Chain A
Amino acid sequence: MTKSTRAALTRRSLLAGASAGLIATRAWAQQPSEVKVGLLVPVSGLYARPGTVMREGAEMAVDHINAQGGIKALGGARMKLIVLDSGDTTEKAKNAAQRMVAQETDLVAASGAYLSSFTLAVTEVTERANLPVLTLSYSDLITDRGFKYVFQTSATAGSQAKQALPQIVKLAETASGRRPKTVAIVTDNTAASVSSAKAMRDGLLAENGLQLTVDETFTPPLADATSLVQKVRSAKPDLLFFLPTVISDAKLLLEKMNEFGLGQGKIPTISFGIAIAEPDMLQTVSPELLQGLLTCVASWGAKGHEALIAELKTRYKEPWMTQNAISTYGDMWVIKDALEKAGKADRVAVGEALRTMDAGPSKYYPLGEIKFDEKGRRVGAGMTIVQWQSGVPVTVFPPQLALAQPFWPKN
């Protein structure tokens, strides 16, 4: 190639660049160069750890969205994440929400706020400010208030238990060749655990042909798990549903089970919620004690998320992708879709888009579609069952999302 042609090409490309720039400038003048999305989660206090993981998920999503050209309907506007600390009390969460709507007036949507009591308080504020909020909190109450601007991406607590129980029974039956008949429930009295346990007691167990032989509720933190474990041992149930929220409670009970010779699968143990599969578990409980333990969660890093899980590992040193990371990652994409549909950076329009959107099968939340019913609940929202296998909690159910085959702890 000669020198002159190279120069001509350069000149041409320069011209092209300039005109592209002009078009872009015109587009920028019509549309905001930036669209602000809120993330209201606890990044200080007792719940800072899960809140931080949520932020990591959101940051990854925003980077991916921007890397792929931002919001196309807004002329490629970049998404910008505004993180607000909800603190560790309901009052702090509510105040933070008020601060969010008062001072970040150009937010188009938000995600938050981890604990369901925080989400309840936060959405009281955002509802009145017409700010759409996506949440992974799964208390039924959140979407039972007739609110228009709250969208629940997880299956509600009641629905999760309903979905999980038949799967657990089927799993037990195929793995051990014997259908479980008796169950024990040991639960703490926090809001999420109570609603899951209540759903089981109020008919779900009976529907699945299970008989409740031990039913114990405790107040965290446990000082001693001996009496609880003794009751379980004397009843010898086929399954134990164990619903802790505090990691130290999980540790106490699991170690006591082991001490009494019930651990490591002697009595298959199933949990609800994320507590028992948090990375922090490994700091206090040995992987052997956790091996085979199952937990039913609203969402988890699953098949199709391998690249994300790897990125989370290298970028943030997280050992695996919990519900907090993957759900919040998904929230940002849903907000992006809603912005594309709304075609303008306006919270009311985004709210309307979320209510009416039908974006097909869900990629980041388990099963169902990216579509919300009149209450704001995601249509067909599924859930995942996660099993501790060799020191890592991996998704084993539903089959289409499973990263590993479930195994039933051997007697």
Chain B
Amino acid sequence: MTMRGWRSLLPILVFTALYAVVSLSVTNSYYQLVMTLVPVWAIFGLSWNLLSGYTGLISFGHAAFFGLGAYAVALGQIHFDLSPWVTIPIAAVIGGVAGLLIGFPTFRLQGHYFALAMLAYPLAILYVFEWLGLQEVTLPIKRDNPIAYMQFADHRFYTLVALAMMLGTILLTRKVEQSRFGMALLAIKQNEAAAEAAGINTLAWKLRAVTLSGAIAGAVGGFYAVVLLVVTPQSVFGMLVSAQALTVAMFGGVGTVWGPVIGSVILIPLAETLNAEAGSRFPGIQGVIYGLAIISVILLAPEGLFWKVRDFLRKRSAPPVLAKPDAPDVPVASVAAAPARPKRSPGTGDVVLEVRNLSRSFGGLKAVQDVSFKLRQNEILGIIGPNGAGKTTLFNLLNGFLRPGTGEILLDGREMSGRKPHELCEAGIGRTFQIMRPFLRMSISDNVVVGAYVRARTDAEAKQLATDAIARVGLSGIADRIAGELTTKELRLMELARALAGQPRILLLDETLAGLGHDEANEVVAVIQRLARDGMTIAIIEHTMQAMVRLVDSFLVLDHGAVIVEGEPEAVTRDSRVIEAYLGKKWVAHAPH
């Protein structure tokens, strides 16, 4: 591990050690129990966080994994006399398998639909366990050999076991966070489509995440059964259990290892103290106070305490930098002087991409009809047409967001139509988006690294590819800035770098110049020209022709989804059909012939 890795590990180790010391000094068995429950719910929160915190797919159903783990441990001891030392790892396996089985069908859904579907699983399993007659099961007391069955007379041992499990979970989560696994999950959270287009097999990563998350939940559920000693469907599959994971994670902070830990450290003792102090005097008041506390924190710190405190500290430690204009990475002067690429006659070079009779309809609307063209090695093809001509739909067909209705897409002669975006990305098709899809909370470097994983075998290699790509678009100077702070031009260039980092053979650029001023557009054009000079094959969509004429080798003009003209820029701009499509019939007469 690097120095930086060790240093960031230090707070975790210090916290764990402090917690252990405090818990060992507690003699009151009730406080000892509370000390045990804090890491238990923290682990459960971490498990939830691993799936929902990093991917953004909210799970209301983590109790499913938790409960299966708890019942595995209880039934294992009742029926097979198995010790929890053995059954907790088994519970982890069961939780993991359940995660996989639940995740596979459920990841077809997104957003609220995913959250609601997840809600159903524990509730359904709850009824299954009731139907099985497992309304109440207790772990048999072991008077002879308690330690072998994890039945400690001294409660502090439970805390130590829980603490060890929590440390393991934190380290695992951090490992995930810092690897391409975590990067992929974060990319999915911020923009699943962009992640997929950047070559991330989103379904595979999500399945890995839910499996790991389910395994952790299963293990901690098993341990919870040991602590509670009685397992009922309500106490392990109930709504409140799933809610507990969300509560501690959201209170503390989503998408960080600290969040669930902070949430649990504050909320569990708070709830207990309220139950103890207020419960018998003003029955019910504890729920009201607890609820109000959570509501006010969520209102004041919607992303959780951790992020609120971190943002506050950052603001204090770094006084706001005076807005200074960023020095352009690509000197403007050089843009104008960029040597025009030697014009090559179309029709030479190897065909990289061939599209044959591609069509796609949405109901009665024929968005793309019968489009055929060839893209040759080191060619820049401009795809133009008025709004609604079907340009972006064509790109979506080419990179796999949409399945073609009919027709073929041949990459190096291989049929690729209907493949998933990440497969096409892997095959060498990179793209950018008309509406930018940056990962706003990540730095430029991290945004670009996401695109590099498709090509890189190791994390180091990915870093290298990303650094190169950032250099190629001229953003090296600001590579550590957060995407959310960038200008439109910088975002366009960053997206370009992200596509480049995967070392594509073909780059599909969707209105890369949109929303840019004249000078900014020139800068971006200069970057694209340099890429072309270095041998990249590019297809670019644009509906303003001005900038394109200087850039492209040939044009493909679409209108109403069909190709109306194909050819060299000079010829195309004079074609009456093109003028008609853009300006209407009456302008055809005025056009210079």
A87-B279, A89-B240, A91-B228 given; 6 more Cβ-contact pairs under 8 Å: A44-B279, A85-B275, A90-B230, A98-B30, A101-B30, A117-B136
CB-CB nearest 8 A-B residue pairs: A44-B283, A102-B30, A85-B279, A191-B135, A90-B235, A124-B229, A121-B230, A44-B284
Docked complex: B27-48 residues within 8 A CB-CB of A: 28-31, 33-34, 37
Q: Is the CB of B228 within 8 A of A94?
A: yes
A45 within 8 A of B: yes
Q: Name the A residues within 8 Å of B229 (CB-CB).
A: 94, 121, 124
B280 within 8 A of A: yes
Q: Is the CB of A124 within 8 A of B284?
A: no
Q: Name the A residues within 8 Å of B138 (CB-CB).
A: 120, 124, 141, 145
A139 within 8 A of B: yes
Q: Which of A89, A103, A190 contacts B135 (CB 8 A)?
A: A190
A92 within 8 A of B: yes
Q: Name the B residues within 8 Å of A95 (CB-CB).
A: 30, 33-34, 37, 272, 275
- Interface centre among A48, A90, A94, A101, by most chain B C-beta atoms within 10 angstroms, is A90
B153 within 8 A of A: yes
Q: Is the CB of B135 within 8 A of A85?
A: no
Which residue of chain B lies nearest to A118 when distances are taken between CB atoms in the complex?
B230
Which residue of chain A lies nearest to B240 when distances are taken between CB atoms in the complex?
A89
Q: Is the CB of B276 within 8 A of A45?
A: no
Q: Name the A residues within 8 Å of B232 (CB-CB).
A: 90, 117, 191
Q: Name the A residues within 8 Å of B238 (CB-CB).
A: 89
B141 within 8 A of A: yes
Q: Is the CB of A85 within 8 A of B235?
A: no
**B114-156 Cβ-contact flags toward A at 8 Å (1 or 0):** 0000000000000100110101101011000000000001000
Q: Is the CB of B153 within 8 A of A128?
A: yes
A-B contact pairs, 22 of them (CB 8 A): A43-B279, A43-B283, A45-B283, A48-B283, A48-B284, A91-B37, A91-B235, A95-B30, A95-B275, A96-B276, A101-B29, A102-B28, A116-B136, A117-B235, A120-B136, A124-B138, A124-B229, A128-B153, A141-B138, A189-B127, A191-B135, A198-B133
Cα distance A231–B285 in the bound complex, in angstroms: 44
- Interface centre among A94, A145, A146, by most chain B C-beta atoms within 10 angstroms, is A94
- Interface centre among A84, A91, A124, by most chain B C-beta atoms within 10 angstroms, is A91
B291 within 8 A of A: no
B287 within 8 A of A: yes
B369 within 8 A of A: no
**A74-89 Cβ-contact flags toward B at 8 Å (1 or 0):** 0000000001110101
Q: Name the B residues within 8 Å of A258 (CB-CB).
A: none
Which residue of chain B lies nearest to A101 when distances are taken between CB atoms in the complex?
B29
Q: Is the CB of A117 within 8 A of B135?
A: yes
Cα distance A226–B31 in the bound complex, in angstroms: 50
- Interface centre among B127, B133, B153, B230, by most chain A C-beta atoms within 10 angstroms, is B230
Which residue of chain A lies nearest to B139 when distances are taken between CB atoms in the complex?
A124
CB B412 to nearest CB in A, in angstroms, measures 59
A219 within 8 A of B: yes
B378 within 8 A of A: no
Q: Which of A84, A89, A124, A147 contacts B280 (CB 8 A)?
A: A84
**A303-345 Cβ-contact flags toward B at 8 Å (1 or 0):** 0000000000000000000000000000000000000000000
A194 within 8 A of B: yes
CB A239 to nearest CB in B, in angstroms, measures 24
CB A135 to nearest CB in B, in angstroms, measures 14
Q: Name the A residues within 8 Å of B29 (CB-CB).
A: 98, 101-102, 129
A201 within 8 A of B: no
Which residue of chain A lies nearest to B151 when distances are taken between CB atoms in the complex?
A128
**A53-91 Cβ-contact flags toward B at 8 Å (1 or 0):** 000000000000000000000000000000111010111
Q: Is the CB of B28 within 8 A of A103?
A: yes
Q: Is the CB of A139 within 8 A of B136?
A: yes
Which residue of chain A lies nearest to B133 when distances are taken between CB atoms in the complex?
A194
Q: Which of B136, B235, B272, B283 contacts A191 (CB 8 A)?
A: B136
Q: Is the CB of A89 within 8 A of B34?
A: no
From known contacts A44-B287, A121-B229, A121-B230, infer whether A87 and B135 are also in contact, taking CB-CB under 8 Å.
no
Cα distance A337–B33 in the bound complex, in angstroms: 33
B286 within 8 A of A: yes
Cα distance A219–B234 in the bound complex, in angstroms: 13
Q: Name the A residues within 8 Å of B280 (CB-CB).
A: 43, 83-85
Q: Which of B141, B234, B272 contacts A145 (CB 8 A)?
A: B141
Q: Name the A residues within 8 Å of B33 (CB-CB).
A: 94-95, 98
Q: Name the A residues within 8 Å of B272 (CB-CB).
A: 95
CB A363 to nearest CB in B, in angstroms, measures 29
CB A253 to nearest CB in B, in angstroms, measures 19
CB B127 to nearest CB in A, in angstroms, measures 6
Using C-beta atoms within 8 Å of the partner chain, give the interface range for chain A.
35 or more
From known contacts A44-B286, A90-B234, A189-B130, infer whether A102 and B31 are also in contact, taking CB-CB under 8 Å.
yes
**A21-49 Cβ-contact flags toward B at 8 Å (1 or 0):** 00000000000000000000001110010
Q: Is the CB of A127 within 8 A of B228?
A: no
Which residue of chain B lies nearest to A144 when distances are taken between CB atoms in the complex?
B138
Q: Name the B residues within 8 Å of A89 (CB-CB).
A: 234-235, 238, 240
CB B196 to nearest CB in A, in angstroms, measures 41
From known contacts A85-B283, A117-B135, A189-B131, infer whether A99 and B141 are also in contact, taking CB-CB under 8 Å.
no
Q: Is the CB of A194 within 8 A of B283?
A: no
Q: Name the B residues within 8 Å of A91 (CB-CB).
A: 37, 228, 235
Cα distance A139–B153 in the bound complex, in angstroms: 26
Cα distance A103–B272 in the bound complex, in angstroms: 14
From known contacts A48-B284, A89-B234, A145-B141, infer whether A219 and B275 are also in contact, taking CB-CB under 8 Å.
no
Q: Is the CB of A120 within 8 A of B135?
A: no
Q: Name the B residues within 8 Å of A128 (CB-CB).
A: 153
CB A104 to nearest CB in B, in angstroms, measures 10
Q: Is the CB of B30 within 8 A of A99?
A: yes
Q: Is the CB of A92 within 8 A of B31?
A: no
**A183-198 Cβ-contact flags toward B at 8 Å (1 or 0):** 0000001110010001
Cα distance A194–B234 in the bound complex, in angstroms: 16
**B287-325 Cβ-contact flags toward A at 8 Å (1 or 0):** 100000000000000000000000000000000000000
Cα distance A83–B240 in the bound complex, in angstroms: 25
Q: Is the CB of A219 within 8 A of B136?
A: no
- Interface centre among B33, B131, B287, by most chain A C-beta atoms within 10 angstroms, is B33
Q: Name the B residues within 8 Å of A121 (CB-CB).
A: 228-230
Q: Name the A residues within 8 Å of B275 (CB-CB).
A: 85, 87, 92, 95-96
Docked complex: A216-268 residues within 8 A CB-CB of B: 219
CB A69 to nearest CB in B, in angstroms, measures 28
Cα distance A386–B488 in the bound complex, in angstroms: 79
- Interface centre among B136, B229, B286, by most chain A C-beta atoms within 10 angstroms, is B136
Cα distance A101–B32 in the bound complex, in angstroms: 12
Q: Name the B residues within 8 Å of A127 (CB-CB).
A: 141
Which residue of chain A lies nearest to B286 when distances are taken between CB atoms in the complex?
A44
**A101-119 Cβ-contact flags toward B at 8 Å (1 or 0):** 1110000000000001100
Q: Which of B34, B127, B230, B287 contacts A120 (CB 8 A)?
A: B230
Cα distance A103–B28 in the bound complex, in angstroms: 8
Cα distance A220–B228 in the bound complex, in angstroms: 25
Q: Name the A residues within 8 Å of B285 (CB-CB).
A: 44
Q: Name the B residues within 8 Å of A129 (CB-CB).
A: 29
CB A40 to nearest CB in B, in angstroms, measures 10
Which residue of chain A lies nearest to B279 when distances are taken between CB atoms in the complex?
A85
Q: Name the B residues within 8 Å of A103 (CB-CB).
A: 28, 30
Which residue of chain A lies nearest to B146 when distances are taken between CB atoms in the complex?
A128
CB A75 to nearest CB in B, in angstroms, measures 29
Q: Name the A residues within 8 Å of B287 (CB-CB).
A: 44-45
CB A200 to nearest CB in B, in angstroms, measures 15
**B231-263 Cβ-contact flags toward A at 8 Å (1 or 0):** 010110010100000000000000000000000
Q: Name the A residues within 8 Å of B235 (CB-CB).
A: 89-91, 117
Q: Which of A90, A145, A147 contacts B228 (CB 8 A)?
A: A90
Cα distance A32–B234 in the bound complex, in angstroms: 42
Q: Name the B residues within 8 Å of A90 (CB-CB).
A: 228, 230, 232, 234-235
Cα distance A117–B136 in the bound complex, in angstroms: 6
